[in-house]
């Protein structure tokens, strides 16, 4: 039988086409990429090609077909791993993986049920092109024939690859100006330059940020300091120092979004205890408060609370900059006689907390070894909320006062599972098991908080404390928009809706205050540090912080998200579009532009402080640069 005569370089061409087409299919089936016009569709279609041409084209420099084909198969395996890694990461975080995240390996052993919920047997299809190449290499002999590569062909091939690169970048720049210099949104990068080129860009940015600290000096802090001072809000005269020397208890409410507050699910009240606090005369409930976290999720919310700075756009500050100099809320409280501690029944090394807490000047970390986890009390990455909070209240009884305790809850964590004895309401009925279970774990956490308040009273700690509780980040990602639309009674979830769904609850409960009310200020986690310190009578006018006191008459209704979106009292900026906040109607972008510029400036200022470790040059007591800070 006559063997098929394959064209020259058939194996390389097969690899290029297979990887290209697979990547495009994955874009459309595994990622929720918002495409608004035909040009964006075309860019998404061609953007894998330039990198694929380059990486497989290197095989043209190998002399023998055996080595050439092995190289091609190896590259196919590596690209499939990179692509699948992004798919798995996207399923959990609704985002794309970054280089710093790849080095967070100390977290991987704790993923447990979360990883099991992400991976399924059908995922082998993400390696379909690898299987095709292996079969072709084994059973199609002509593909293994020696092919002489002349210089002209090689030159023409790489000219084509370069041309594709410039075509891709040119179209991307037309569609999204300053994409590579001002974008904080990884989805935009992947949509425009592709997954593989995005990772090359990520390596470049990581290298650049690593060099920033080595080359930084105090002169970079002058402009940042001037910006912060010019946008500073004064404290509220009536509230400042009113609760001096009270204990401070801060509870980070895992994955709690505000849409469950004062709401029900199929007739079942979701958060009866928290609902009661919204009407409590000792509680200030902020109903326009937003999380501002990035890939660091809970650790980002910790970082923002402590420092009134944003996390980074590419990973968790707790990992990438755990050794920096900071002027945390814990440090300021410690300087004012507080015993500062964090309570979290997980391994102390998770999210690099044991190292980062030293940088934040936290006196003690009550990790899992500080608790007695009895049979049936373990959940997700630690301990169920009810026994955790009960034991935490008991520990507080013996702490030196005043103390600052920050508790991090765990039960309401993806994939939102409960033991049967802990279920208090039935599951929701939608196409999303995640959302269906979410209501049950939220209800359990609410019960734990009710018990916690009683535990504090029983331990004699409640009356002389301020209790701050806030949602740390979203629980339901955009991957579940269809189910969320069903629950909210909408036809679909728009970028405007998604921005508003980043709202998380904030409760500031002050026993005996009697002036509590529902607060309408548009605000975010970055405002917590100045607000709390002012309530306790600690001045922050010389601190390097980006937030503002929520009780200040000068507080502005403006909250910035880590990816550059923002919300004001009038506008919502999301998906590169401006919306009227009251109606949800898309409007001309002009009213949003000044806020967009400010959002970029604030994010860049925060990044500069962190990447350059600039606070090592700053004297927070005088508000000036340290001597010899400028090289």
Q: Is residue 19 within a helix (H) or strand (E), and if so which, with residue range?
A: helix 10-30
Q: Alpha-carbon distance 305 to 533, whole Å? A: 11
C-alpha 191 chain-centroid distance = 19
What residues contact 400, with CB distance under 8 A and at least 6 apart? 339
SS3 406: strand
Distance of CA 230 to the CA centre of its chain: 29
Pairwise CA distance, residues 5 & 143, whole Å: 9
Please check whether residue 527 is in contact with residue 547, taking contact to mean a CB–CB distance below 8 angstroms. Answer: yes
Q: What is the DSSP string of 561-629?
A: -TTS-EEESSEEEETTEEEETTT--EE-SGGGHHHHHHHHHHHHHHHHHHHTTGGGGEETTTTEEPTT-
C-alpha to C-alpha distance for 509 and 82, rounded to whole angstroms: 46
Helix, strand or coil for residue 475? coil
DSSP state of 370: G
DSSP string over 139-180: H-GGGGS-----HHHHHHHHHHHHHHHHHHHHHHHHHSTTHH
Q: Is 298 tagged catalytic?
A: yes
8 A C-beta contact, residue 271 and residue 261 = yes
Bridge partners for 571 per DSSP: 580
In sequence order, the 6+-apart residues with CB closer than 8 A to the CB of 344 are 353, 365, 366, 367, 382, 407, 408, 410
Residue 298 has which token pair?
């809970």
Q: Which helix (H) or strand (E) holds 378?
A: strand 378-379
How many whole angstroms separate alpha carbon 339 and alpha carbon 334?
6
Q: Which of 98, 298, 409, 441 is catalytic?
A: 298
Chain-centre distance of CA 227, in angstroms? 25
Question: Active-site residues: which are they?
Answer: 298
């Amino acid at each position: 039988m006559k063997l098929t005569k394959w064209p020259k370089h058939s194996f390389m061409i097969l690899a290029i086409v297979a990887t290209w087409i697979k990547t495009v299919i994955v874009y459309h089936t595994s990622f929720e990429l918002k495409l608004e016009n035909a040009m964006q569709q075309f860019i998404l279609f061609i953007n894998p090609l330039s990198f694929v041409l380059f990486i497989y084209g290197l095989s043209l420099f190998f002399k023998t077909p055996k080595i050439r084909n092995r190289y091609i198969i190896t590259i196919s395996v590596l690209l499939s791993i990179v692509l699948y890694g992004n798919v798995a990461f996207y399923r959990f975080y609704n985002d794309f993986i970054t280089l710093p995240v790849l080095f967070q390996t100390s977290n991987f052993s704790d993923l447990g049920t979360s990883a099991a919920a992400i991976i399924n047997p059908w995922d082998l299809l993400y390696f379909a092109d690898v299987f095709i190449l292996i079969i072709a290499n084994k059973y199609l002999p002509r593909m293994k024939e020696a092919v002489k590569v002349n210089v002209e062909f090689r030159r023409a091939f790489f000219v084509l690859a370069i041309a594709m690169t410039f075509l891709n970048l040119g179209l991307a720049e037309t569609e999204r100006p300053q994409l590579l210099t001002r974008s904080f949104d990884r989805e935009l990068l992947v949509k425009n330059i592709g997954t593989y080129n995005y990772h090359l860009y990520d390596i470049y940015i990581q290298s650049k940020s690593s060099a920033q600290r080595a080359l930084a000096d105090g002169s970079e802090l002058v402009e940042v300091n001037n910006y912060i001072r010019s946008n500073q809000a004064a404290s509220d005269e009536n509230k400042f120092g009113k609760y001096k020397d009270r204990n401070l208890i801060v509870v980070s409410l895992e994955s709690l979004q505000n849409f469950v507050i004062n709401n029900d699910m199929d007739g079942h009240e979701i958060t009866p205890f928290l609902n009661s606090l919204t009407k409590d005369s000792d509680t200030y409930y902020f109903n326009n408060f937003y999380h501002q976290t990035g890939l660091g999720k809970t650790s980002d919310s910790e970082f923002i609370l402590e420092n009134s700075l944003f996390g980074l756009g590419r990973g968790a500050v707790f990992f990438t900059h755990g050794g920096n100099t900071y002027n945390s809320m814990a440090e300021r409280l410690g300087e004012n006689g507080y015993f500062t501690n964090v309570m979290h029944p997980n391994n102390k090394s998770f999210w690099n907390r044991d190292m980062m807490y030293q940088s934040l000047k936290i006196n003690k970390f009550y990790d899992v070894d500080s608790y007695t986890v009895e049979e049936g009390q373990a959940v997700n990455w630690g301990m169920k909320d009810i026994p955790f909070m009960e034991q935490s209240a008991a520990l507080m009884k013996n702490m030196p006062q005043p103390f600052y305790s920050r508790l991090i809850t765990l039960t309401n964590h993806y994939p939102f599972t409960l033991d049967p004895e802990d279920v208090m309401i039935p599951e929701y009925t939608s196409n999303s098991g995640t959302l269906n279970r979410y209501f049950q774990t939220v209800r359990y956490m609410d019960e734990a908080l009710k018990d916690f308040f009683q535990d504090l009273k029983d331990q004699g700690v409640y009356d002389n404390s301020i209790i701050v509780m806030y949602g740390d980040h979203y629980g339901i990602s955009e991957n579940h928009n269809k189910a969320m639309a069903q629950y909210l009674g909408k036809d679909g979830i728009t970028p405007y809706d998604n921005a508003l769904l980043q709202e998380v609850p904030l409760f500031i409960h002050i026993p005996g205050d009697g002036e509590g009310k529902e607060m309408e200020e548009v605000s975010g986690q970055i405002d917590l540090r100045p607000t709390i310190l002012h309530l306790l009578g600690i001045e922050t006018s010389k601190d390097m912080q980006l937030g503002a006191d929520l009780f200040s008459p000068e507080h502005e209704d403006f909250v910035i998200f880590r990816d550059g979106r923002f919300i004001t009292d009038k506008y919502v900026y999301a998906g590169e579009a401006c919306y009227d906040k009251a109606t949800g109607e898309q409007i001309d972008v002009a009213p949003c532009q000044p806020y967009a510029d400010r959002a970029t400036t604030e994010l860049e200022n925060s990044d500069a402080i962190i990447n350059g470790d600039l606070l090592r040059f700053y004297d927070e007591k005088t508000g000036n640069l340290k001597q010899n800070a400028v090289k």
